[in-house]
Structure 1
């Protein structure tokens, strides 16, 4: 997109590996602009601290309000830059302070899994679990490693909202004001180990979220964060997942049971949302379990959300 008077050039935040160092960058069209190099080259005056030797964009999110005009200026200048094709991308946030996962948030996914969606009209609330960020999150191109005891590893394409300022007791009407941007995550899930027959086939302990969701590498994320100013309506985005080129999921966030506004309101009543917290919003229909198809070594997974980014990972074994 050509920058015009009064129109900000679209850019995305990312992190690349350069000389074995993690470097926060902007993606502008098909170019990669190193943020600190651009500040140094153009003498951009900024009250924000240097980003050199930082592992991800979390420090930028910590001061998001001050960074936004700086990033816009860097995007407009667009130099010095290199080709996207030459870049090795890492996870944009490594690691989120909290990785908050909405479960059962698409009506079509609930139907395919044989479940019943919460009834908001009768006081139903969102359903959440967490993944451990430092061991779950991997970046684009990295390998999802399936442990030997997991025989039914499944895919779940999801839109993620990245928080950009502290939020506590936020009302849904203003909830999106706290979102810095959006990225993509695949909520890889172990369907077989999630059930715990050793604790009974029914009752409160028959379903184990930790052994179903929290395995090492089961949260590939990235490769970039698209600022919220470029995603005006997160409630109408296409969500897709392909496995080995075959389209498995093709949903839309308009089928959310609880909107992102409602998810933020719900969570912020429970605890303070902090910059860099990631809220994964659930997955649409098309997962492997209903069709009896699961991930195996050598598979290639592509997870994509319209207008946000496209994430590609391989599947291997955790030996």
Structure 2
């Protein structure tokens, strides 16, 4: 991966969570400088990202007009440790097999039907909010699992509550975007001690929600800075070798369609994450899996590079 293509810090304000002497804080990052959001806005509740997202209707125009030159005291980005931009999302909804090429490569492995045979509505699974880690985190391989796979994804952050959301209004419920990696324990996806016909054979908890299974970051880019979420490059590399390289335009179900479909089944709340699926190039398609010492870089155009390290 050419990190310079993706890694430039935006010259416009993005939101970060960072470690401070007062604990985790929300910051505004512009040109390598971090401004404490509560301090520059005068609203102490904005120290927590959850409160920021719950007040997105007020925060969005404030961010759009933020002037770093007049904001006063700031910290160099290199001097702070960035945390997961959202530490405790209400829900994490992962789109399954939402790129045709990935659906086809997985169908060859599992012998399952492709999305075309699954109906005309997007399909999602849940990841535990406790599986969240941030940029530069070290993800420990779960003991006993030998087939930990990678999946780069565009993640949308909900900023407005909604139920039964109309397709044309769906993107208005998105506050921001970030990069996500959906780590998957392929060898834990099925319980081999049960019959293939058993309804309890699938094990989504072990498959998708082990500790560290959902890195996100490095920051949140406000949705108004992303003109078209269906035209963003995605790339993932392991030890600087590119494994996935695609574009969000190749999704089977667009983000707007996913939000519409999710909201017919459950109310979406500020702080919820929608992971929109991954393209071809996952490790299981070639019999490659993560090992101790590996470095994974995931990137989405305009959203930065999310790097994590793998440990045994």
Length-normalised TM-score, structure 2 = 0.90
Are 2:111 and 1:118 aligned?
A: no
Aligned partner of residue 184 in structure 1, secondary structure: strand
- The one of 39, 45, 50 equivalent to 1:51 is 45
Number of residue pairs the alignment of both structures matches? 297
- The one of 70, 74, 83 equivalent to 1:81 is 74
* Equivalent in the alignment of 1:299: 294
- The one of 283, 287, 290 equivalent to 2:285 is 290
The CA distance in 2 between the partners of 1:91 and 1:223, in whole Å, is: 7
The CA distance in 2 between the partners of 1:223 and 1:79, in whole Å, is: 23
**For residues 224-283 of structure 1, what are the alpha-carbon distances to aligned partners after superposition, in whole Å with 9 as ceiling and x for unaligned?**
110000001000111111111111111111110100011000011111100000000011
- The one of 142, 151, 165 equivalent to 1:156 is 151
Contact 1:26-1:75 within 8 A present in 2 as well: no
Shift of 1:203: 5.2
- The one of 50, 56, 64 equivalent to 1:64 is 56
Aligned partner of residue 125 in structure 2, secondary structure: strand
Shift of 1:81: 2.0
Are 2:15 and 1:13 aligned?
A: yes
Gaps of 5+ in 1: 1-8, 41-48
Change (3 A) 1:116 1:29: farther
The CA distance in 1 between the partners of 2:169 and 2:21, in whole Å, is: 42
* Equivalent in the alignment of 1:264: 259
- The one of 297, 300, 304 equivalent to 1:309 is 304
The CA distance in 2 between the partners of 1:281 and 1:242, in whole Å, is: 19
* Equivalent in the alignment of 1:24: 26
Change (3 A) 1:313 1:75: farther
The CA distance in 1 between the partners of 2:91 and 2:104, in whole Å, is: 29
Shift of 1:202: 4.5
Contact 1:28-1:78 within 8 A present in 2 as well: no
Aligned partner of residue 304 in structure 1, secondary structure: strand
- The one of 76, 79, 102 equivalent to 1:109 is 102
Gaps of 5+ in 2: 1-10
Contact 1:38-1:74 within 8 A present in 2 as well: no
The CA distance in 2 between the partners of 1:248 and 1:78, in whole Å, is: 41
Aligned partner of residue 14 in structure 1, secondary structure: strand
Shift of 1:207: 2.7
**For residues 16-53 of structure 1, what are the alpha-carbon distances to aligned partners after superposition, in whole Å with 9 as ceiling and x for unaligned?**
1122611111111222121123235xxxxxxxx4236x
* Equivalent in the alignment of 1:4: none
* Equivalent in the alignment of 2:41: 39
Are 2:280 and 1:278 aligned?
A: no
The CA distance in 1 between the partners of 2:166 and 2:41, in whole Å, is: 37
Aligned partner of residue 311 in structure 1, secondary structure: strand
Shift of 1:316: 1.2
Shift of 1:139: 1.0
Contact 1:145-1:316 within 8 A present in 2 as well: yes
Contact 2:13-2:66 within 8 A present in 1 as well: no
Are 2:248 and 1:253 aligned?
A: yes
Length-normalised TM-score, structure 1 = 0.88
Q: Report the RMSD for the aligned CA atoms in angstroms.
A: 1.8
Greater Cα shift, 308-317 or 30-39: 30-39
- The one of 89, 92, 96 equivalent to 2:89 is 96
Contact 2:16-2:218 within 8 A present in 1 as well: yes
Are 2:139 and 1:144 aligned?
A: yes
